[in-house]
């Protein structure tokens, strides 16, 4: 069975940095699309960033310039580098992947993704 395991969350001060990792097992995702979402209590899951190929990435405007998504195909792993963190970035962060890829117009839709990580808590506070 496919499993996505996340790591890298924690408590940081405003302006600090974290790098989240998500590693898949049970399937190879050479043609899959990866994404990071985040969720806070009472709000819907929010798209943060995604990659449809090793050189094709998209970051949502609210974190653009601070967050970067990357992918290591050989390790079946996707990363989210988070710099200049703000209190409003506090959330549970989830990684997700599709088996067969997707198109740009549906990349932000959580329903497009086949597998999800367990979530990792990111808290930004002084």
pLDDT at position 54 is: 65
pLDDT at position 103 is: 81
pLDDT digits (tens, 9 = 90+) for 50-71: 998 767 899 999 999 999 999 9
3-state secondary structure of 19: strand
Please say if the pLDDT value at position 104 is more than 90.
no
Q: Work out the percent of the chain whose per-residue pLDDT is above 70.
A: 99
Average pLDDT rounded to a whole number, residues 89-95: 98
Average pLDDT rounded to a whole number, residues 63-80: 94
Q: Strand 10-12 relative to strand 46-53: parallel, antiparallel, unpaired?
A: unpaired
pLDDT digits (tens, 9 = 90+) for 23-44: 999 998 888 899 999 999 989 9
pLDDT band at residue 7, thresholds of 50, 70 and 90? very high
- CA distance readout (Å), 40 to 7, 19, 55, 79, 123: 18, 19, 30, 20, 11
């Amino acid at each position: 069975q496919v499993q996505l395991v996340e790591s890298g969350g924690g408590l940081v001060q405003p302006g600090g940095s974290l790098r989240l990792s998500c590693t898949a097992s049970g399937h190879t995702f050479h043609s899959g699309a990866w994404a990071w979402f985040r969720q806070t209590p009472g709000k819907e899951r929010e798209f943060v960033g995604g990659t449809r190929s090793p050189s094709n990435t998209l970051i949502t405007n609210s974190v653009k310039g601070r967050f970067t998504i990357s992918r290591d195909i050989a390790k079946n792993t996707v990363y989210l580098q988070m710099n200049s963190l703000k209190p409003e970035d506090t959330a549970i962060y989830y990684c997700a992947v599709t088996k067969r890829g997707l198109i740009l117009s549906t990349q932000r839709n959580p329903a497009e993704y086949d597998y999800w990580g367990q979530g990792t808590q990111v808290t930004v506070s002084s």
